[in-house]
Structure formats: structure tokens, C-alpha cells
Amino acid sequence: MAGSGRGADESDGAVCSVSERSLFAASVPVIPAPDSLPRLDVRPLPPEGPARVPSQKIGPAVRLRGHLRQLSPSGIRNSMASAAGMEIDRGVAFLLVPVFLACGVIFYFSLASEPDFSQTIAVVVLTALCAAVSRSWRKTHLCFVVALLCALGVLAAKVETWRAGTQMLGSEIPTRLTGRIVSLDRMANGRIRLTIDVISTARPTLRYMPKRVRASAMKIPPGTTAGSKVTGYVRLLPPTGPVRPDGYDYSFDSYFAGIGASGFFLGTPKIVPPDGASPDGAPLATRLSSAVENARESIADHVRGSIGGAEGEIAAALIVGVRAGIPEEINEAMRRSGIYHIISISGLHMALVAGTVMALLRGAFALFPDFSSRRPVKKYAAAAALFSIAAYLIISGVVVAAERSFIMLAVMLIAVLFDRAALTMRNLAISAIAVIVVSPHEVVGPSFQMSFAATAALVGAYAGWSDYRAGRAAAPPPRRTSLGFVTRKFLVAMSGLAMTSIIAGSATGLFAIWHFQRVSPLSLFANLAIMPIVSLVVMPFAVLSALAMPFGADGPLLYVMGKGLTAMIVVSGWISERSPIDAVGLISMQSVLLATIALVIATMATTWLRLAALPFALAGLLTISDTPTPDVLISENARLVALPIGGGELAVNRARPNEFTIDNWKHALKVETIIMPETFAKTDMQFDITDSADLPPGAPFYCTAGLCLARHPSGAIVALADDRKTARPACAFADLIVIDDATAYYNPCRNPLVLVVTKRQLARMGSAAVFFDPQSATTRAKIRFAVEEPYRPWHVQRKFSREARGLPPYRKAEKPKKAAAQ
């Protein structure tokens, strides 16, 4: 039956072919075929009726049986095997190399304890041997190769952690510090932030002295530059941990940045005259770094002076990466409008610099057609663009975001030099591998995740669109007037910009929510309005001004750049004022992982296997809200406690809370308004604060005599006491008691239903999130700390603080009074 069906199909195809060619039989002479060629058995058309169509021969039942045969388990397996083989032939295996390396890195940083070098190396060697032995079994070999890549990711992260080895300060302490300035940033509030390589400390001398610290000063002596040797009395503080569990960990970033402490000068630092064999007493590498830093600062000062105002600060950030002086209100407006990525030197800026240089050189070469026709001017322009972004990387301070962007763009420009396609997933994979090998800790940060997610989504979408257009028969464009031509080009450009914003925003949305708990609802409109200004005015004139700056002809160019920045600030402020609240609260880690898997499949697959991304994406969207919201948040120094009391309000126990901490908590808890505490003197209280009946549900903090009380909307009472003695009366009615006393070793309450958190616990395990469970019979509250023991290398310093050791705050010994004169 099957054989007869195939014969019928073939004969029908022959009939249709003859019927089409027979239309030309009357006008085209018939040329006899050579005897060597096979002859076709052609049957003439029947005299009556139209030609039969092959699809009419196959009935619906036959088609249905064919589809069902494909949907059978064996058919699905065969189809998947065929598609997987095609994906491997197209090189998807190489694209997955950075994915599995990143999985190993993430696994390392999520471990509960630090693994040994011997264990990590043993796993790498074992998986490599298994991969080599199993080459005859393809599936088993692929599994061991995947395991090897993950193990290599773990090893790369372990090596970076060992290589960093930052000595972190354990406890807050004042000391006289002498060191050499690495960089200085002028803040928007008027202070100057100095990054200093420590040479010595005195009064007291630190036994475990950090090698590099960051301290701010109200003012510095004239002539202070990078490379200057300074001394002064400073108060140093250890790097802080996350402000809440799963939050931004400043100590993690400080560890890999080499910053062992931060603080502020108690007065104005003084310049120490240089000494040593070299002219300024510094080694060659330090002098070269200082020269680059001084050049950056000189250019930044020149740009600020030429443009002025907030525009000058933004221009300095775009040209040399100095962005500390941008006013916070402008930063917040750009965050709310979704264009803050413009400020950070990243792939956008590198691409615009390279594109401007290439366009200028290609235009210059076009003026000499004889030379251009004989030489590979495109490669010359690509080489010049590569040199320009390398210079841009150095002058911008070699920050991690710029370094990653340079690697990505350098791979693409080198591909142009070797006549290869520049914008491909393979080049993106090479860039990701380079970044993972150089800076594995960046994998768990928002910059790496969001930039590569956006780039991968854009490259994948561009490749899919190119394939779609290549499969279509494009008709020649109709003739248009000049106005119609310009209008069409403008609409195409705006459509491309809108799609770019939509694709990149969709790819990075969950990562932004996970790290920052905020979104920008009007980011599409903001990017449509502002990106043409940045791409056509701001960055091209920034490049031109940098080229003209050595000749002193950059004034008019910086003026145009400043006007473009003025328009950008006005538009972003207008959109920010009309943007709804951007706080979206916490989301689950499962949703981020599922969305990442969906993104990897959708961007790397080229066959119908990309449809496998849909269930992962759907599961990621459905699990976004599977994260319980904390009922109480406690800072790691036990001084700040906050709880949502309903109506978008957050009650805090301090009248002047830490701004960074409060902003983070507001976005995590989806609140808008901060309710300050009400403080009463012991003699003029309107009610007895120890009477819990006087506190209605959702009441803010009421404080008196070293004790603050608040009631959660669930009815649970939160108490904050200065010491153990003050906390003892609250044991009768409170559900949670926070004791701001490191010497409180034991629980003053004998009631197991009362959760007591001391300053010593918070010093050792970081900030805490408390969850109330009124239905539990054994405990009313559960707690989760931000830091777990045993400590990882970036948290080891926590156990050396005075609070973690149960000691009271340090107080300088009083000098003995002189004996009265006889």
C-alpha cells in the first residue's frame, strides 16, 4: 500500500511538471535529448478536465496518520535526535561552553563552606580522565565534558579567590594612616573620596593592616593628586555585609576589589614629601598608574570646566568614567526612566566610540578612491577602532564593566580583521569565556548577567530576523520622493530602536528585579526619546572632542555635547516624574534560574528545539511570586529595625536611618512612605508603653527609656531594647525582641515563643529577616540571617569584631588626673 502511494505521488508530480512546461510547447522548439541522458517516462495530459493537484490525492486521514506518526514517542525521539545533531553540526556545543563554566562559578560561590584546592583539582582531573576514556560512548562522553566544564568553572573561581586574598579589617578603629593615593573622586556632596594604598598605621598600629582602604575627606591640600603620599587620622570601618538576606554584599565586592576597609578622615590629610630612590619614592608600576589617573582627572576637570553643571559631570562620566559628582536626583531620575545604563561605560559606549572612529576613517578613505580600491580600508578602520577602544578602556580606569565590554568588542573587531562575521553568538561566547577566566566573581553580579543576557538576546533576534528575510523573495522597492525616503528611513530606525529596547528589556527584566527589586515601566519611551540624542549627538561629539582636545579645538564640540546632555536630562526628568512606582518587591531565585535556561535555549538553538524555551519561560513567570516577604528587617549593627505596617508604609525605629539601607528595604518590601518613630519622655507619656493593649495592629514605633515597641499588622509585637535589663519587661508580651547590646550573652526571656536577637548574633551572622507565623504552636517567629557559618573568605573578618566577641564599644582610656598642687 505504501509503495503504491509513493508511485502515485511521483506520477502526479510528473504530470504537473509536464502540464506547466506544455504551456510553452507551441512556441519553444523541442530539442532531442542525448542518448547518454536518462529518459523520463512522460504521460500526456488527459483530454478533459484540469490537471490534478497532488495534495488532492492525499486525503485528511492520510495526513492525520502522518502527523500522529511524528507525534509518537519514536517519532519525537527521532525528530529530537535529528534536530540535536543539526544543532551540534552548527556549533551550538561551543556556545554552551561559557554556560557550563558559569554554572561551575555559581556553584562555587553558593557553597556553604570553602572547598580545598586539593578537592577542586581532584574533581577536575577525575572528570578529565573520565571524559578522555569515554570518547567511544558519545552520550556518556558529553556528560563528562559538561561535568569537566563545570569543574573548571569552580577551579577558576577558587583561583581568583586565592589570588585576591584581601586582608579585611575586623573592627571599627581610629588610627593615624600613611599611604599613597591611588585615585580620588569628587563627590556630589562636596566630599572627596580617596582610594589609598596603606604604607603604615600608628596610634594604634594595626597588626593586620589592610593593603588598600577607601576614605573620604571634607577637603584635601592643594596639589594633591594620584601618587601623592598623605597622612592623617582616620576612622576605619570593616566592609559591611548585605543589608538584608540575598541583598547586595559590599564585603564580597570589596574583597575582589582589594578594598580592606572604608572610613573618613578626622580632619584634613597632609601631604608627605616623597622619599626613596625614585623621584617620588614610588615604584615604576605605581607611577604609571598614577600618571593615567592624573590624566583622567585632568581631562575630567577640563570637561567639567568647559560644560559646567550636571551636564559637565555626566560628560566626565562618559569620557573618562568619573561619575562620582553626578547629583543624586539626576541619578534617580535616570534610574526611574530606565536610561541609567547610559552613564556606566559599557558595550554601548565602546560600540559608539568604535563606530564613530570607523565611520570617520571610512569617510576619509572614500575621499581617495584609488587608494581605497586597492587596500583593505575596512580592516584599517577596524584596527584603528580597536586601538581607540583600548585607549578608552585605559583612560576610563579599567573598571570591570568597561573591561568586559572591551573584550566583547575586541573579539568582534578582530573577527573583522580576519574576514569573519563580527556579530555572532560564537564571538559572544568567546567574550564570555574570557571574562569568566579573568574575573569569575563577575558572573554572580548584575553587570555580567544583564549585559550578556541583553547581547545574546539581540544577537539571537538579529540572526532570526536575517534568516527570515533571507527566505523571503523581496520585491524591488518602489520609487519614492526624497521626503518619503527620509520618512521611511526614520520609521525603520525608530522601529529598530524600539525592538532593541523591547528585546533587551525583556531579556534583562528578571535580573534587574532580582538584584534591584525595581523596574522602569516607561523605559521604552525613554530610550526611544533619548537614545537618538546619545547616539547621534552626545557620543559622536564626545569622540570628536577627545580627538580635538590635544589641539585645543574641543570647545565647540563639548558645547554641542553639553546641549545634548541638557536635552537628555530634561527628557529623563519629565519621564521620571510621570513614571509609576518602580518597586516590585522580591522574586524567587527559581524564577530567575528558569528564565535563564529559557534565554539560553531561545538564543542558542537554531532549529525547532528553541520551542523548548517556552515551558521554562512560562514556569519562570509563574514562580515569580513564590518568595515570602519578610515581616521585619534588622540591620547588622542592631540599630535599625523596620516593619511594614500596611498602606505602603514602613515603620522604622530611628529618626535618621541610613539612606542606602532604607532605599533597599523600600524596594524589597514594596513600600513608599517611611514612618518615623514617636519618642516620649518618661514623664509625659500618653500611655504606658509596656501595656501591649495600647498598641493597635499596624502601629509605628513608640520609644521611651531605652525601649521601642511596634505592632505588626498580624498582631505580633516587636521590641527594640538598649540592653538586656531594659528588654526583660518586654518578655511578657513581645514576639520579637532585638537587643542592641553585644554583651547580652544569654536570652533574658524564658518563654520559647519569644524570639530574641542580640547584637552579637547580628555581628557574627549579618542582617536578619524575620517571618511571623501566628498559626505555629511552638514559635511565633522565624529568622534568617544574611551570612552563614563557616565563613567564606570575604566574611572571615566578621568574627574579629568587638561585637562578635561580645565586647562593649571601644572607649579611649582616660588620662589620670594630675595631683593637686600642694
Confidence of residue 694 (pLDDT cuts 50, 70, 90): low
Which candidate, 589, 599, 550, places its Cα nearest to that of 452? 599
The pLDDT mean for the chain works out to: 83
Q: Per-residue pLDDT for 24 more than 50?
A: no
- Three-class secondary structure assignment of 10-43: HHHHHHHHHHHHHHHCCCCCCCCCCCCCCCCCCC
Q: Per-residue pLDDT for 14 more than 50?
A: no
Cell of 733: 508580651
In three-state secondary structure terms, 115 is coil
User: How many other C-beta atoms lie within 10 A of the C-beta of residue 108?
Assistant: 26
Cell of 88: 551540534
The answer to whether 409 and 353 have CB atoms below 8 angstroms apart is no
Rg from Cα positions in the chain: 34
User: Using CA atoms, how far apart are residues 25 and 308, in angstroms rounded to an integer?
Assistant: 81
User: How many other C-beta atoms lie within 10 A of the C-beta of residue 819?
Assistant: 6
The single-letter DSSP state of residue 608 is: G
Q: What is the dihedral of CA 4, 10, 14, 17, to 10 degrees?
A: 140
pLDDT, mean of residues 707-734: 89
The answer to whether 408 and 428 have CB atoms below 8 angstroms apart is yes
**Cell 499588622 sits at which residue?**
713
Beta strands in 209-260 (DSSP E): 212-217, 229-237
**Cell 517519532 sits at which residue?**
75
Confidence of residue 105 (pLDDT cuts 50, 70, 90): very high
- 9-13, 396-400, 460-464: which is most confident: 460-464
In three-state secondary structure terms, 351 is helix
Element (H, E) at 204: none
Q: Point out which residues pair with 704 in neighbouring strands.
A: 707
Q: State the distance between the two ends of the chain, measured CA to CA, in whole angstroms.
A: 131
The single-letter DSSP state of residue 791 is: P
pLDDT, mean of residues 774-787: 79
The answer to whether 778 and 758 have CB atoms below 8 angstroms apart is no
Cell of 365: 578613505
Q: Output the pLDDT for position 145.
A: 94
User: Using CA atoms, how far apart are residues 691 and 699, in angstroms rounded to an integer?
Assistant: 13
Higher pLDDT, 183 or 278: 183
Cell of 97: 561552553
User: How many other C-beta atoms lie within 10 A of the C-beta of residue 690?
Assistant: 16
Q: Output the pLDDT for position 244.
A: 93
Q: Output the pLDDT for position 193.
A: 93
Confidence of residue 13 (pLDDT cuts 50, 70, 90): very low
DSSP secondary structure, 439-506, as one string = -GGGGGSHHHHHHHHHHHHHHHHHHHHHHHHHTS-PPPPPP--HHHHHHHHHHHHHHHHHHHHHHHHH
pLDDT, mean of residues 278-292: 73
Higher pLDDT, 12 or 711: 711
Q: Which amino acid is at 57?
A: K
Q: What is the pTM of this model?
A: 0.82
pLDDT, mean of residues 516-537: 87
Q: Which amino acid is at 490?
A: F
Confidence of residue 8 (pLDDT cuts 50, 70, 90): very low
The answer to whether 598 and 616 have CB atoms below 8 angstroms apart is yes
Higher pLDDT, 201 or 483: 201
Beta strands in 218-367 (DSSP E): 229-237, 261-265, 270-272
DSSP secondary structure, 127-162, as one string = HHHHHHHGGGSHHHHHHHHHHHHHHHHHHHHHHHHH
Give 112-164 pLDDT, tens digit per residue: 999 999 999 999 999 999 999 999 998 899 999 999 999 999 999 999 999 99
User: Using CA atoms, how far apart are residues 211 and 164, in angstroms rounded to an integer?
Assistant: 12
Q: How far is CA 289 from the centre of its chain?
A: 27
pLDDT, mean of residues 225-254: 92
Element (H, E) at 591: helix 589-604
- How many residues are recorded in the chain? 822
φ/ψ of residue 185, rounded to 5: -125, 130
Among 136-145, 339-348, 590-599, 644-653, the range scoring the smallest mean pLDDT is: 339-348
Give 404-429 pLDDT, tens digit per residue: 778 878 888 888 888 877 667 888 88
Give 508-524 pLDDT, tens digit per residue: 888 988 888 888 888 88
Tell me what percent of the residues of the chain surpass a pLDDT of 90.
34
Which candidate, 672, 640, 644, 667, places its Cα nearest to that of 656? 640
Which candidate, 414, 355, 430, places its Cα nearest to that of 91? 430
The answer to whether 274 and 229 have CB atoms below 8 angstroms apart is yes
Q: Which amino acid is at 337?
A: S
Q: Per-residue pLDDT for 82 more than 90?
A: no
Cβ-proximal residues to 109 (8 Å cutoff; 6+ apart), any chain: 157, 441, 443, 444
Confidence of residue 578 (pLDDT cuts 50, 70, 90): confident
The answer to whether 316 and 300 have CB atoms below 8 angstroms apart is yes
What are the Cα distances from residue 345, in Å, to 349, 398, 557, 711? 6, 10, 20, 46
